[in-house]
Amino acid sequence: MSGANHRHSVRGADGAERRRGEVASLLTWSAGAAVPAVAAALLILAQITYPLTAGSARDGVIAAIVVLSALTALAHAWVTRGPRYAAGLLVIVSGIGLVAEIVGTATGFPFGCYHYAHRLGPELADVPLLVPLAWTGGLYPVWIAAGLVCSRSRLRIPLTALGAVGWDLFLDPQMVAAGQWSWCAPRPGPPGTDIPYTNYLGWFAVALLMAALLTLLDRVLARPAASPTVPVLVLLWTWLGSALAHAVFLGLPASAGYGFLGLGIVGIPLLWTLVRTRHGISATVRR
């Protein structure tokens, strides 16, 4: 075997072993996990209240959801990977998200022409500062879940981008229906929604860049496998809970179906990975 092939095999084996360790660590718990776990519990409670509110009260709930989702992601990153990793996560995802949103609202690239309704608090260049935090809170669980499903970066990166698009198949129709932003003119998009296809192409491109840079961050700040329980639960709740809320409580059946299928690109293999790993651990214990 050549040296290059040997190194490639070793990296692949190390990645697979690390992924198995992360999945197995779902069964463990530590005191440090309490902070992201509490934040995640408050996040879920806030999301449950969303259909029960309207007007300015709903605006407040949206703000709370965004802050709690970002807090959950950053707290988990800090506890499991350290403060430098959490800072890197914030700079990469919220930083790129903010730039993409500023360029997007000013030029229509890469998402299409849209405008915010100025109801979500302080803004920078007509972009609410909550928006880049939402990118971090939403992308991080997808990134962690994709890593459990795929050990190779060349698969994890596009899977993360596809999962981010799946999340936005829920998010965009919900926020447009709530009046938080609007699209300039009707453009071709998924039937039953007012969201153009260009939005999802933009999301894929931006999330692809974020995932590529997070891969570099992982390599620079490598740490032993840590429990991904909190972001996995947030991802599964977002996927299944949003499908239920859109279909039953929010009157958005089209986005319920699109989001379920879109985020299911990550959610379904994640469930399979968890079930398969649990069976493997049980078999090992019995032996």
Interval 71-86: pLDDT, tens: 999 999 999 999 999 9
Count the neighbouring beta carbons within 10 Å of the beta carbon of residue 114.
19
CA 129/CA 210 separation, integer angstroms = 18
Domain that holds residue 126: 3-286
pLDDT digits (tens, 9 = 90+) for 76-132: 999 999 999 999 999 999 999 999 999 999 999 999 999 999 999 999 999 999 999
* CA gap 154, 173 in Å, rounded: 30
Per-residue model confidence (pLDDT) at position 27: 44
Q: Which of 108, 2, 27, 14 is nearest to 284 (CA)?
A: 27
Are the C-beta atoms of 207 and 218 separated by less than 8 Å?
Answer: no
Provide the domain count of the chain: 1
Say what the pTM is.
Answer: 0.87
- Convert the pLDDT of each residue in 181-236 to its tens digit: 999 977 899 999 999 999 999 999 999 999 999 999 999 997 766 789 999 999 99
Alpha-carbon gap, residue 95 to 91, rounded angstroms: 5
Position 43 scores a pLDDT of 98
C-alpha–C-alpha distance, residues 51 and 62, integer Å: 11
Alpha carbons within 13 angstroms on the beta-carbon side of residue 268 total 8
DSSP characters over 202-232: HHHHHHHHHHHHHHHHHHHT-------HHHH
Start-to-end C-alpha separation, the chain: 35
The alpha helices in the chain, defined as continuous H runs, are 3-24, 34-49, 55-81, 83-89, 95-107, 130-149, 153-177, 197-220, 229-244, 253-286
- Asked whether the predicted pLDDT for residue 161 surpasses 50, the reply is yes
